[in-house]
Chain A
Amino acid sequence: MKHLRYFLAISIGVFLFSNTINAQCKRFTEKQCLPKLAPFTNNGQINNATLFEGDSASLIMTFYSLLDYRLIVCSHDVLGAGAHFKVRDNDGNILFNSQEAQKSSWDFRVNSTQDLMVSVIAPKNPENLTDIPASGCVSIILGFRE
């Protein structure tokens, strides 16, 4: 009986921990990232994750030819200088590099409707002198306008 109680407590703890991380990332995206989209309208889709410094993520997104887009990669301050991103076409050609452009957002349109690959990296934070890599929420958000 005692063990069962421990088990239930641990299970609930794990469940709540996982939900708390998701909830924190959601709140961060809502408060810190979505407002940066204006005057573009968010497309309603959510693409966020908790990344460790040095981690990377990629996302294939469809862009339609009749709309203008704003693509933002927004990362929590704990990740130092912030995540940077590159956008590539089908052939792997780099269309945008946020590090080179020194911007965390990109306004663009496409010649024809197509998929583009967005790859994001949370670089190593030189200010983190511990052995434990920092982790924080990274969001890829997309806004559109006619």
Chain B
Amino acid sequence: MIFKSIKYFALISSLLIFAIGCGDNTPIQNPPTDKLVDPNLDVNSKDKARFQRAKIVFFALPSPIETARILKKSGAIYSKDFLNPSSNATGYSTSVRKAVALGIFIADLSYANSFVQQQDCLEYFTTIQKLSEELSLSNIFTAEFVEKIEKNINSEDSVLKYLSESYWHANAQLKENDRESIAALVAAGGWIEGLHIASSLVDPNNPSDPLAVRIAEQRVSLKQLIKYLLSFKDSKVLKEMTDDLKLLKTSFDKIEMKMVRETKEVDENGIETVGNTRTYTYPEGTLKEILENVSIIRTKYIK
């Protein structure tokens, strides 16, 4: 009897530990290190010890909504030819492909909205609605939601607000349901599409083109994205994307960067301008190499 109880207790304990700690969608929290602890923290030594144990490191993912705005501000023009046709949406069979495609379509929608392309926006909202349903993202991009967008389609700001809110809810729902690896793939898809749009518009022979600078700047996002993908305990579903991005990183790493420290400035509205100034130099052939790699990776995921 005692052995039987112990057996059940052991079984229940093991499975509970598994349930709590072994979800494959949970990013690993970085191990605490002294280096990470802020020495100026206002805590006593007992708290500090606990604080060190409890140190949590978040990962910030690139947002396709921001990328579209940056592209427009850098002189990009609108062309639907660069975007993933919504008709492709029916061809994605795995959740990995669907998640990446969802990110790609969110980036396309953000780009279309930045250029007030209402009809294309509606088309992409409908596509996103279908894909999110297939990914079991319920009650976010609903038919009612698309109807609401239709009514406000002439207002770029309203569409941006709806898109931002719904993307936030999608990410929140994925986190709530321990499906953060899907959120990571959506962000990766959106990031690749933003880079693809910039790559389609840049002059490959002119590394001084403002869009070439925007492309070079993406190396900081790329580094963070790879770190995030690698942080998952079981990253099998993320392996293909991680490998693709690592390949791209080898090209990005060739770009030379110079940093100049600047003093903080405050404008008349009280907004501070901070951080160093960075300039980028593409060694011969590097920009073309990046454009080729982006094209190969993006083509693989939109097929």
Query: Which residues of A line the B interface, CB within 8 A?
Result: 3, 6-7, 10-11, 14-15, 18-19, 22-23, 26, 29-30, 34, 41-47, 49, 51-52, 54-68, 86, 89-91, 95-96, 99, 106-116, 119, 121, 123-124, 133, 140, 142, 144, 146
Contact = CB atoms under 8 A, between A and B. Distances in A.
A54 B176 contact: no
Contacts of B175: 22, 26, 46
Given A45-B63, A59-B57, A109-B272, 11 more contacts: A18-B20, A22-B176, A41-B164, A45-B60, A54-B43, A54-B47, A60-B60, A60-B224, A66-B74, A89-B276, A109-B271
Contact of A58 (B36, B42, B47): B36
Contact of A124 (B8, B36, B43): B43
Nearest to B190: A44
B144 interface: no
B12 A110 contact: no
3 tightest A-B CB contacts, nearest first: A44-B167, A113-B217, A43-B63
B55 A11 contact: no
A111 B275 contact: yes
**Dominant SS among interface residues on chain A:** mixed
Contacts of B90: none
B56 A95 contact: no
Contacts of B164: 41-44
A26 B284 CA distance: 48
Interface stretch (B65-73, B118-126, B195-203): B65-73
B54 A54 contact: yes
Nearest to B161: A41
A24 to B, nearest CB: 10
B165 interface: yes
A59 B59 contact: yes
A80 B9 CA distance: 39
Contacts of A144: 66, 69
B245 to A, nearest CB: 15
A67 B19 contact: no
Contacts of A140: 58
A123 B42 contact: yes
Contacts of B56: 49, 51, 55-58
A17 B233 CA distance: 22
B81 interface: no
Given A26-B176, A43-B66, A59 B60 contact: yes
A142 to B, nearest CB: 8
A14 B42 contact: no
Contact of B217 (A14, A41, A112): A112
17 contacts: A10-B12, A11-B15, A14-B16, A23-B176, A46-B171, A46-B175, A51-B56, A52-B54, A59-B60, A60-B60, A62-B62, A67-B66, A90-B276, A111-B274, A111-B278, A112-B275, A112-B277
